[in-house]
Structures are given as C-alpha cells and as structure tokens.
Amino acid sequence: MLEIKDLTIQYGSAAPAVAHFNLSMQPGEILAIVGESGSGKTSVIRAVMGLLPHSGFAARGDILFEGRSILSLNEEELRILCGTQISMIFQDSGMMINPIRRIGPQYVEYIRMHEASTKKQAYGKAVHMLGQMRLPDSDNIMESYPFQLSGGMRQRVGIAMAMTFQPKLLLADEPTSALDVTTQAQIVRQMMELRQRYHTSIILVTHNLGVAAYMADRILVMKNGLIVDEGTREQILRRPQDEYTKGLLAAVPVLEGEMYVS
C-alpha cells in the first residue's frame, strides 16, 4: 500500500534531516517509528502527507501510495488525496483547530470541502464521528470552542476528523505525548479499535517505546536521520541489533525483573 524508496529530506541547504529511508507497508498494518527528538521521525510522515515546512523538500527518492508517486502530485491532487485516503493526527490536535471558531463550523467546512453534502448532512456526519470517538454530548462539542475542551477531548476531535472519510492510511505524530497517562491509554485503545473497525493502516511516530510495543506490528528505530534498527515487535524488544536500540530498552523501567513495555 505504501512504499518509501531511498528518501532523503533536507531543510534548505543544511545537512539531510533524513537519509536513505526505506519502508514498505501493508494494508491494516501498524508501524511505529521511534527515536529521540530530532531523529527525523516527524519529517518522514510529513513528507508522506505533503506537509514539510516551506524550506523542506525531498532531495532524492520517492513515496508511492498504492503505486502512485505522492511527490509528483500537484497541489489539487494532493488536497484530494489527503484527508480522504491519507489523514494525520497531530501531537496536539487543538493546535490545528482555529481557536476563535467553534468546533462545529470548522468540522462541517472540512467535510463539505471533500464531499458534496448539505450543511445538515455534514453536521450529522460530524456528530456521528464524535460519537464514535466516545465523546459525550456530541452536539455540545460542536458548539464548543477548542479552549473549552480538555486535551483528551481535543485529541478525540482530531481523531474523529482524521477518520471522517475512513482513510486507508493514518499518520499519527506523537498523538499521546501531551496527555496524562490515563487519557493516553484511552486514546491508544481507540486507535487500535480504528484498525479493527476500518482496517486502517497506521504509522505511529513516538518516543514512547511502551506505546510502540503495545500498538505496533513492526517497529523502526531512527537516530540522526537514519534507520538503525527495524523488525517485528518481538524482534526489537527481545533481540535488538543496534546498540542505540539496546540503550532505549535499557532506559525502560523494570519492576521485579519485568520490563514494562509490553
């Protein structure tokens, strides 16, 4: 479904932020990309979404979605693809929502931008998706401003919007890092339900090895823009190959001899 071939990403004339990145992904698969801040994780998924900052560009390589090169799409083609077949959840979904507009008008506008529907139909679809994310009193959420919602509620709104058109690929950029532990667990479970319900493929970017170990079928470990380790969850947790991966695992808390990542 998704294939990234020898991708190198640069920002301006600086040294590559990501170099020689390769990835092949199947429908319904969950892949976690882990590594420290600045390792290039977010740059990879932003490139897939066509959302690299102004100075960022793919210096070499290609990104193929169902055999079609994303890097060759024009602005209109990319707009149609993103939000329908590929969607993204940000670290704090509240940051992508206009803080001076209510949730409802923004959500309705988003739906009508991607499909021919009346305001009433779009409103109904939005309320239904908010309900799917287990947000109580969806009509009240639609009438709320972002600052009136908790971090967990804003994140659920972001996930609801991202899943409105049942995309084939969901890109999640640190979707739980700004949340408390209890809310993190709820969001993780709901993302797992999305895979179960819609057969959605997910690329999860995180520095939390515990979240990656719980959710992912495969894990990629990045450092300084390079993939230093990759394998199934079991291979990475039990038989890591790179010293950096071993160091990450060594930093995981151990209680009574049990490593708490899985």
What phi-psi label fits residue 231: left (phi over 0), alpha (psi between -120 and 50 degrees) or beta? left
2-219 homologous superfamily: P-loop containing nucleotide triphosphate hydrolases (3.40.50.300)
pTM: 0.88
Between 260 and 139, where is the model more confident?
A: 139
**Helix or strand run (H / E) with residue 201:** strand 201-206
pLDDT in the model for residue 243: 92
The average pLDDT across 20-31 equals: 95
What ranges do the domains of the chain cover? Answer: 2-219
Helix (H, G, I), strand (E, B) or coil at 221: strand
Tell whether the model's pLDDT for residue 65 goes beyond 90.
Answer: yes
Burial of 122: CB neighbours in 10 Å, binned 0-12, 13-18, 19+: buried
Which residues, other chains included, contact 90 with Cβ-Cβ below 8 Å and sequence gap of 6+? Answer: 96, 158, 173, 175
Task: Determine contact, residues 203/41, Cβ cutoff 8 Å.
Answer: no
pLDDT digits (tens, 9 = 90+) for 162-215: 889 989 999 999 888 767 788 788 888 888 888 888 899 999 999 888 889 889
pLDDT for residue 259 is more than 60: no
Averaged pLDDT for residues 250-261:
60
Answer whether 45's CB lies under 8 Å from 89's CB: no
Instruction: Give pLDDT tens digits for 79-107.
Output: 889 888 999 988 777 677 888 999 999 99
Q: What's the pLDDT tens digit per position in 229-238?
A: 999 999 998 9
Region of poorest pLDDT, from 13-17, 19-23, 127-131, 148-152: 148-152
Beta carbons of 160 and 129 less than 8 angstroms apart? yes
Instruction: Give the residue, 61 or 98, on which the prediction is more confident.
Output: 61
Rounded distance, CA 237 to CA 262, Å? 9
